[in-house]
Amino acid sequence: MILEALQYIRTPCRAEFRKLGFLHEAIALQARHKRLHSLWGPHLERCKELIRKASRLCPQHRQVIVLGSGILSEIPLDFLARQFKQVVLVDAVHLNAVHDQVAGYGNVEMIESDITGLAVQLVAMKRRDRELPTPQPSIPGLCEETDLVISANLLSQLCVGPLHYAVPRFGFSNEQYIEWCRDIIDGHIGVLFESGIRTCLITDLVHVERDREGRELKREDMLFGSALPDGAWIWEWKLAPVGEVSRRYSVTAVVNGFVNFPYPGE
Ligand SMILES: C[S@@+](CC[C@H](N)C(=O)[O-])C[C@H]1O[C@@H](n2cnc3c(N)ncnc32)[C@H](O)[C@@H]1O
């Protein structure tokens, strides 16, 4: 805990990103990854396999953009850096361990950006404001040389920071928040599709809680009612064993992966 608190103080991060909890989440993800590395192993390998496959299907290998690069646990960085002339890693936060990893490559760039455009707008909001801000989705780093965009397990996470900031401060209804989250998610999907660039999309869809006997207790839609097309690779990610988030239940995520979103197969 003390080490994590020190890391929180020492890691450079924009003020509005701290306020939305991005840095806190990144440090927590790193800690969970250390604790659960072997349980997460099959999921992490599946993500890397899908990304390698998507990248092999690209006719050219000039620039690849990884959205939600996080702690690079799901990203075959070495493979991408060999395949592509330029690798661009985009996340709200890159921890020092990621900077250290990237330092070994001459062709890997990092961009710290909020791809929903909501952080700045939310922090500027007044309590009396009557509308939630409109997402301004973007793909930082996108250029004529982009041959592949990887949306790396961040679709369901796009709402976490905005909700963390907005819910305790503003008095909107549950329905308004759900609709807003759907807009955030659809905004990201829309910007990927409109880019016309080959996209590898990985996302969790549903979280399933099961008791110690394996009986299903609850199912949570992580995309707030937004739907993805059929034809993805589908696998289960054992996210948290009993004892990690609750002594009563484990959590498993159902993950979808597309090598050429939104088109099926390959
Ligand atoms: C589940 S993690 C992805 C893990 C990552 N793919 C890896 O290999 O470690 C989701 C990531 O999305 C990032 N994220 C969430 N909302 C974001 C936003 N609005 N803009 C940029 N990154 C965001 C988080 O900071 C986090 O690193």
DSSP letter for each residue of 76-111: -HHHHHHH-SEEEEEES---HHHHHHHTT-SSEEEE
pLDDT tens per residue across span 38-74: 999 999 999 999 999 999 999 999 999 999 999 999 9
Q: Is 137 in the pocket of ligand 1 (CB under 6 A)?
A: no
Closest ligand 1 atom to the C-alpha of 44? 8
158 lines ligand 1 (CB under 6 A): yes
Tokens for 152? 């790396």
Atom of ligand 1 nearest to the CA of 161: 16
C-alpha distance from residue 225 to each of 118, 137, 169, 186, 252 (Å): 20, 19, 24, 10, 19
**Number of the ligand 1 atom closest to the C-alpha atom of 71:** 9
Between the CA of 13 and the centroid of ligand 1 the distance, in Å, is 14
Min mean pLDDT across 11-15, 67-71, 140-144, 239-243 is at 11-15
152: Cβ below 6 Å to ligand 1?
yes
Cβ atoms of residues 230 and 263 within 8 Å: no
What residue type is 204 in one-letter code?
D
Mutate which of 116, 157, 164 for ligand 1 pocket (most atoms within 8 A of beta carbon) = 157
Residue 103, C-beta contacts closer than 8 angstroms, at least 6 positions apart: none
Asked if residue 175 lies in contact with residue 126, where contact means CB atoms within 8 angstroms, the answer is no
Q: Is the CB of 93 under 6 A from ligand 1?
A: yes
Give every CB contact of residue 180 below 8 A, 6+ residues apart in sequence.
132, 159, 162, 172
Q: How far is CA 169 from CA 33, 102, 166, in A?
A: 31, 37, 5
Per-residue confidence band for 3, with pLDDT thresholds at 50, 70 and 90: confident
- Residues 148-203: pLDDT tens digits? 999 999 999 999 999 999 999 999 999 999 999 999 999 999 999 999 999 999 99
**Percent of the chain whose pLDDT exceeds 90:** 91
Whole-number percent of the chain with pLDDT over 70: 99
Q: What is the pTM of this model?
A: 0.96
Under the banding of pLDDT at 50, 70 and 90, the label for residue 266 is low
Report CA(26)–ligand 1 centroid distance (Å).
8
What is the distance between the alpha carbons of residues 266 and 200, in angstroms, rounded to a whole number? 12
Q: Separation of 44 CA from ligand 1 center, angstroms?
A: 15
